[in-house]
């Protein structure tokens, strides 16, 4: 069985969720978004949702131990046996170490970096705020999430570059145009 383990990374608003769905379809693997898992729990009023709601609305990161546990559980589900595409996790160095431990020596096959400049992503998120009404899409929180990304998540780019698995793609443009770019870059990296 070919197992495909992928990660998509990039600033909030770069379009990761949209592109993740397309990549997951191509490689027939589930797209696993920690943000989506948290939002579903908030919506469902679960204990987890209650624990994370205020953190998410402030744009801070949910504590690592809690986030790692959720990902560990999710990766053990049957549909992830042939691989997965992680979206929004890992988000800092500690989470990378936790994921390495979960994978027990099987490393990620490729990391897609969706590049987009800050002004562009902030504008996109403000627009999304009008249509989707996400609680963390207010201007202050959007700016804070960009800072958190720059401080905690951006260092992962160098880390994955050193591992030789980073694939950078320009995230600017239409959805299909960006999807095509990702698709060619990924198949070049994966050889499939
Ligand atoms: P996202 O949908 O990926 O933008 O995530 C929305 C929010 O969920 C983030 O701003 C964080 O508060 C929380 N979150 C999502 N993924 C993680 C993670 N890997 N670690 C910590 N917090 C996360």
> First-to-last CA distance in the chain?
14
Looking at the predicted structure, is the pLDDT value of residue 1 above 90?
no
| Per-residue model confidence as pLDDT tens digits over 41-63 | 999 999 999 999 999 999 999 99
Looking at the predicted structure, is the pLDDT value of residue 88 above 90?
yes
Looking at the predicted structure, is the pLDDT value of residue 133 above 90?
no
Q: Measured in angstroms, how far is the CA atom of residue 1 from the centroid of ligand 1?
A: 31
Looking at the predicted structure, is the pLDDT value of residue 21 above 90?
yes
| Per-residue model confidence as pLDDT tens digits over 138-159 | 999 999 999 999 999 999 999 9
**Looking at residue 147, what is its pLDDT?**
97
Q: How confident is the model at residue 167 (pLDDT cuts 50, 70, 90)?
A: very high
To 10 degrees, what angle do helices 93-103 and 64-75 make? 30
Q: Measured in angstroms, how far is the CA atom of residue 51 from the centroid of ligand 1?
A: 13
pLDDT above 90: percentage of residues in the chain? 96
Angstrom CA distances, 191 to 4, 85, 110, 131, 154, stand at 11, 17, 11, 38, 26
**Looking at residue 60, what is its pLDDT?**
98
The atom number, within ligand 1, closest to the CA of 55 reads 12
Whether 67 lines ligand 1, by a CB cut-off of 6 Å, is yes
d(CA 18, CA 112): 13
- Could you please report the per-residue DSSP string of 51-80? HHHHHHHHTPPPPHHHHHHHHHHHHTSGGG
Name the average pLDDT for the chain.
96
Domains of the chain, first to last: 4-183 (3.40.50.300)
Substitution site in 62, 75, 96 for ligand 1 pocket (most atoms within 8 Å of beta carbon): 62
Looking at the predicted structure, is the pLDDT value of residue 111 above 90?
yes
The atom number, within ligand 1, closest to the CA of 63 reads 21
The atom number, within ligand 1, closest to the CA of 148 reads 10
**Looking at residue 105, what is its pLDDT?**
84
| Per-residue model confidence as pLDDT tens digits over 169-190 | 999 999 999 999 999 999 999 9
């Amino acid at each position: 069985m070919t197992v495909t383990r992928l990660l998509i990374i990039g600033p909030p608003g770069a379009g990761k969720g949209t592109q993740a769905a397309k990549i997951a379809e191509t490689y027939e693997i589930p797209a696993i978004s920690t943000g989506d898992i948290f939002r579903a729990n908030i919506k469902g009023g679960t204990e987890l949702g209650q624990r994370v709601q205020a953190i998410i609305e402030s744009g801070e990161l949910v504590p690592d131990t809690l986030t790692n546990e959720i990902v560990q559980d999710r990766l053990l589900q049957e549909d992830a046996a042939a691989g997965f595409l992680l979206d929004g996790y890992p988000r800092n160095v500690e989470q990378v170490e936790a994921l390495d431990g979960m994978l027990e020596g099987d490393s990620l096959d490729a990391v897609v970096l969706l590049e987009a400049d800050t002004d562009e992503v902030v504008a996109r998120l403000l627009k999304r705020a009008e249509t989707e009404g996400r609680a963390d899409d207010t201007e202050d929180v959007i700016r804070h999430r960009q800072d958190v990304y720059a401080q905690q998540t951006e260092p992962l780019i160098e880390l994955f570059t050193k591992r030789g698995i980073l694939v950078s793609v320009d995230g600017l443009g239409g959805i299909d145009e960006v999807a095509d770019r990702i698709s060619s870059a990924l198949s070049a990296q994966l050889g499939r």
